[in-house]
Structure 1
Amino acid sequence: MAEVPKPEEELVQDADFPKPEDEGLQDSSSTDKEFPPPMAQSEINERIKELAIKHGVNHRKLMWKIDICVVPLACLLYVLAFLDRVNVSNANVYGMSEDLGMTGMKFNTALAIFFVPYVLAEIPSNWLMKKFKPHIWLTATMTLFGCVLLGQGFVRTYGQLLATRFLLGLFEAGMFPGCFYLLSMWYRREEAQKRYSFFFSSTTLAGAFGGLIAAGIHNLDYHRGIRSWQWIFIIEGACTATIGILMIFCLADFPEEARFLKQNERDFIREKLEIGSTSGSEYDRKMSMRDMAFVFSDWKVWMSGLMYFGYIVPAYGYAYFGTAIVKGLGYSPVMTQLYSVPPWVAGFGFSMVSATFSDYFRHRFAFSFFAGIVGIAGFGLLMGQTEHIGIRYGSLFMICAGTYTAMPILVCWTQMNFSGHHRKAIASGWQIGFGNTAGFISTFIFDAKEAPIYRTALDVCLAFSAFSTVLLIVYLIAIWFDNRYKKTEQYREKFRSWPKEKQELAGELHPSIFYSY
């Protein structure tokens, strides 16, 4: 991935934000040295050039080095995690429900039980990752859920499937928020979107690979007395566990302790991320319950979780039941697996194009909003056309592309509007953890009795997509007003009244730091 020539970690004003004089809010306090005006992007670029000279590093080459060592491995972790949780839908096409005697809503329950430990363990997982270091925590959990999936290939009863799905959710809980938190500590805001989208959109690649792998495994049916749906779990689980063991030697840690960087490069990255910051990196400071309470007192934390919640319903709905919708178009099991691949590929392409332009313009709202509209339109087409196979299949491209593009931009936007190790760790864990509770809705709205149309499920998915798309507008308006409020003496007096410790952990709440749009 090409390095973005304009530098994330802390929030500073750039071209996305109107200057105080543009807002008609300029007053004598705006020049107060206590709260210096936000740095212009040109000034940030100059500071970065000076730091590069000071530490003797080539900024462009260093960013390429980080992109190669950090992003691809994080993507690989999440591809395998997502593949291992949703491959149950591919397995079901090959007769898993019939072999395990799953009738009624039993299959839905097997999907839903995954989310019980998955949701509960996500927030503490980021705290544990910071304690044990990413290369240990993430690879250990990856190896464990790979072993669980391998064991899932040998289940013989419905109860055994429930047990393995529960353990899978427990060990996968820290993967997404952990990788996302790790990435957020490597890049400045204006560098982040393409990297985030590449990471997030790896889920679409997982969906595509899952279909291709399942199609190839069909010929193994009854090989050594094992069904093809079992081979899906065995092969993918064994690969995941093996890669997890190997990754402990190459996965990156936080910049402060990255093993693949020289000391001068670590110093450069740390100082670069602190440009425009109001405090240090907080890396060595222990997180307390008071810190958590302070973060949760911020409305942005709750809003970010709600927006993600709304998009998770259609996202997991498609991930778990997209193959069932394709099968309902009249295809054989093998062709169903193959036809499930193109919508995922289209989703990846659309997401990366949107991310590239979002980074270029340094703007998030419009791209996330447009993608949300595309997803809503896709659900509308799928609901409106119950007979035309071509239109129904085409609508899946819109659903996958829209939903899986809106989500990464939304998460990047909201998470980059937090700053500091503690606020990012808690906010990202909460957003992903709370958002994933929507998985319970996704798994139960698709009733086999309504196949292949699934009218109720599609109604719910469309409604939640619209819910999050509307909240995007609310969030935009709210942070616009917050940016105006930060320029007033009233807000500065409020900030001065806070205890020193609270001021040091304020992050993006500091009067000199503004939210991006």
Structure 2
Amino acid sequence: MPTLNSAEKEVKPMAPSPSDESGTLDANEAQSENALVRKLDLYLVPLIIISYILIFLDRSNLGNAKIAGMPQDLHLHGNEINWAVSIFYATFIFFEIPITLLVKPLGPSKLISCILLSTSLVTTFSGFMSNAGSLIACRILLGVTEAASFAVLNYYVSLFWKREEIAKRAAAVYIAVTLSGAFGGLFAWALTQIDSVPAYAGWRWIFFVEGAISFCWACASFFLFPNSPETARFLNTEEKRLAQCRIESQDKDVPFRWSQVVAALKSPICWLSGFIQLCAGVYYHPLSIFLPTILTGLGYGTLQTQYLTIPVYLFATVMVFLFAWLADRTQRRAPLMLFFSLFTVAGYAILLAWEVPAGVKYFACFLILGFGNVLLLLNVAWLNGNIGPRYKRATALAFNQTISNIGSIIGGQIILDREGPRYRTGQAVAISCCGLACIGVMSLWWLLRSKNTRREKIVQEGKEDVEVGDESVHFRYQL
């Protein structure tokens, strides 16, 4: 890693790694950097986790409301719940990139807070839904408010940690998903016990209370999230300087240009990464949304179902830690994604076979939710560390999630009520998409290795480097 002084004198755009530039830090500087990273982790990671827990609770409460009597009260028929799930993700296709690009005029911290505030208001007023039309309208509004949340939070991580450190910190977003899945169902069940107080059905209180909690956190977030290392009030002057130099040693702050947006949209890396995320969205999101329905179909009651989701999501939380730790420890993405995806395939194969005891089917849910995160987590971390400069990266992350949510739309349609409790179509499509995602990983792995090899030859030939970000000949893609 470069010394602080060398980083200030010469900053190369998105260099392969700081250690390639100018030696290593001495003991005191290394100790200061480690202390800084710990400080960033202790302050920022909890903020990210809490924020996305609340966002995901607001997003996934539809599944809990479904088994608490909402379809009967709203007079829903056929696959109207499925359409509500799919139309929610459809809004992401149109709004993810435009809202993400608001990081330029608003700044990432204010954009995160605005997302939290608008999401909380839509969730709260969703408790007043009265028919299928109002359900669809509320899900469209919620989709618009949440469209950029995932991309913006992942982009936010890249502003404070180096690309070698991104996977563990980006895991905070997925930990939020699994923790909300673990306890969100039980919390939702507790809220449904407020039935008929005052004259409101229990499922409505899921929206009222969760929306109110999110609103309080959204208001606080305007003061808690720093916009950049320089504006972080919890850092002293020297720590701010070191934090900024750490990031600039890899990612020079290039002014916003529309050409960066176009470059991201044209990049084959972004398209392949998006294809992987799309396939992962198809196989993962249906089970994460409809897990209570599947468990109910296995013969469990409502309360038992909520209890049984907790161990599944806690196991998934542990696995997210493991994936992220291994990825940053080994600095490898593709091999881990391919290996752990085999367990997801095995889980769906069990559900597809179906003629096994209920306990085995429950075990299959552990395999799918526990190991299914590996592609979703590491693919985004892979993209986050391989694209630059900053606004190109923000566009790439938003584009990745735009394509991913096409997968979520498909996923919302493959779990058909008439096929319950087996859901043969859903399991068959899911296992196929997991296989396609692995093909996408292998293709992207080959592409990045080829680019690294070509750049080695260019450097050896001594050609002038006129590019910035990941187009620089000095940049080496993570594999």
> How far 1:387 moved relative to its partner?
4.5
1:311 matches 2:280: yes
Structure-2 change in CA distance of 1:186 and 1:373 (3 Å)? same
Q: Could you tell me which residue of structure 1 aligns to residue 302 of structure 2?
A: 333
Q: Deviations over 1:179-219 (max 9, x none)?
A: 10000121112212211123223201111121110232242
Contact kept, 8 Å, 2:188 with 2:206, in 1: the verdict is yes
Q: 1:334-349 alignment to 2 at 5 Å?
A: 334-349=303-318
CA distance in 2, matches of 1:346, 1:142: 27
Q: 1:28-427 alignment to 2 at 5 Å?
A: 39-40=19-20, 46-47=24-25, 52=29, 58-275=32-249, 277=250, 280-282=252-254, 285=255, 287-427=256-396
CA distance in 2, matches of 1:491, 1:105: 60
> How far 1:49 moved relative to its partner?
6.1
SS of 1:187's equivalent?
A: coil
CA distance in 1, matches of 2:237, 2:105: 22
Q: Deviations over 1:76-113 (max 9, x none)?
A: 11111111111100110111111111111111111112
Q: Could you tell me which residue of structure 1 aligns to residue 475 of structure 2?
A: 513
CA distance in 2, matches of 1:135, 1:295: 23
Structure-2 change in CA distance of 1:490 and 1:268 (3 Å)? closer
Structure-2 change in CA distance of 1:235 and 1:482 (3 Å)? same
Contact kept, 8 Å, 1:129 with 1:138, in 2: the verdict is no
Contact kept, 8 Å, 1:215 with 1:338, in 2: the verdict is no
Contact kept, 8 Å, 1:211 with 1:337, in 2: the verdict is yes
Q: Could you tell me which residue of structure 1 aligns to residue 4 of structure 2?
A: none
Structure-2 change in CA distance of 1:139 and 1:489 (3 Å)? closer
> How far 1:379 moved relative to its partner?
0.4
Please say which of residues 218-227 and 146-155 is displaced more in the overlay.
218-227
Amino acid at match of 1:315: Y
TM-score, normalised relative to structure 2 = 0.92
1:475 matches 2:444: yes
Structure-2 change in CA distance of 1:479 and 1:351 (3 Å)? same
Identity between Structure 1 and Structure 2 (%): 25
> How far 1:491 moved relative to its partner?
10
Contact kept, 8 Å, 2:97 with 2:399, in 1: the verdict is yes
Structure-2 change in CA distance of 1:489 and 1:366 (3 Å)? closer
Give ranges in structure 1 of 5+ residues lacking alignment. 1-8, 15-37
CA distance in 1, matches of 2:217, 2:247: 31
SS of 1:322's equivalent?
A: helix
Structure-2 change in CA distance of 1:125 and 1:47 (3 Å)? farther
> How far 1:119 moved relative to its partner?
2.5
Contact kept, 8 Å, 2:155 with 2:393, in 1: the verdict is yes
Structure-2 change in CA distance of 1:10 and 1:453 (3 Å)? farther
CA distance in 2, matches of 1:315, 1:487: 38
Q: Deviations over 1:46-67 (max 9, x none)?
A: 14868x48xxx82222111111
Q: Deviations over 1:207-260 (max 9, x none)?
A: 112111023224222232211211111111111111101111111212243333
CA distance in 1, matches of 2:174, 2:460: 36
Report the aligned-residue RMSD: 2.2
CA distance in 2, matches of 1:419, 1:489: 20
Please say which of residues 220-229 and 466-475 is displaced more in the overlay.
220-229
Contact kept, 8 Å, 2:458 with 2:473, in 1: the verdict is no
Contact kept, 8 Å, 1:310 with 1:435, in 2: the verdict is yes
SS of 1:201's equivalent?
A: helix
CA distance in 2, matches of 1:489, 1:466: 35
Q: Deviations over 1:297-329 (max 9, x none)?
A: 321111111111110112211121111111101
Q: 1:451-490 alignment to 2 at 5 Å?
A: 451-489=420-458
Contact kept, 8 Å, 1:215 with 1:337, in 2: the verdict is yes
> How far 1:393 moved relative to its partner?
0.6
Q: Could you tell me which residue of structure 2 aligns to residue 17 of structure 1?
A: none
Please say which of residues 414-423 and 440-449 is displaced more in the overlay.
414-423
CA distance in 2, matches of 1:280, 1:138: 23
Amino acid at match of 1:515: Y
CA distance in 2, matches of 1:495, 1:138: 40
Q: Could you tell me which residue of structure 1 aligns to residue 7 of structure 2?
A: none
Contact kept, 8 Å, 1:93 with 1:333, in 2: the verdict is yes
CA distance in 2, matches of 1:514, 1:382: 41
CA distance in 2, matches of 1:136, 1:226: 34
Amino acid at match of 1:121: F
Contact kept, 8 Å, 1:485 with 1:491, in 2: the verdict is no
SS of 2:224's equivalent?
A: coil
CA distance in 2, matches of 1:95, 1:84: 18
CA distance in 2, matches of 1:303, 1:426: 15
> How far 1:123 moved relative to its partner?
1.1
SS of 1:513's equivalent?
A: coil
**Segments of 4+ moved more than 6 angstroms:** 490-495
Structure having the higher helix fraction is: 2
Q: Deviations over 1:338-397 (max 9, x none)?
A: 112211111111121222222222222222222211111110111112341011111000
Contact kept, 8 Å, 1:115 with 1:440, in 2: the verdict is yes
> How far 1:168 moved relative to its partner?
0.5
SS of 1:488's equivalent?
A: helix
CA distance in 2, matches of 1:81, 1:153: 16
Contact kept, 8 Å, 1:314 with 1:465, in 2: the verdict is yes
Contact kept, 8 Å, 2:14 with 2:389, in 1: the verdict is no
Amino acid at match of 2:160: W
SS of 2:193's equivalent?
A: helix
Aligned residue pairs, count:
468
CA distance in 2, matches of 1:265, 1:395: 47
Please say which of residues 379-388 and 77-86 is displaced more in the overlay.
379-388
SS of 1:104's equivalent?
A: coil
Structure-2 change in CA distance of 1:176 and 1:467 (3 Å)? same
Amino acid at match of 1:155: M
Amino acid at match of 1:435: S
Structure-2 change in CA distance of 1:166 and 1:387 (3 Å)? same
Contact kept, 8 Å, 1:149 with 1:237, in 2: the verdict is yes
CA distance in 2, matches of 1:119, 1:263: 41
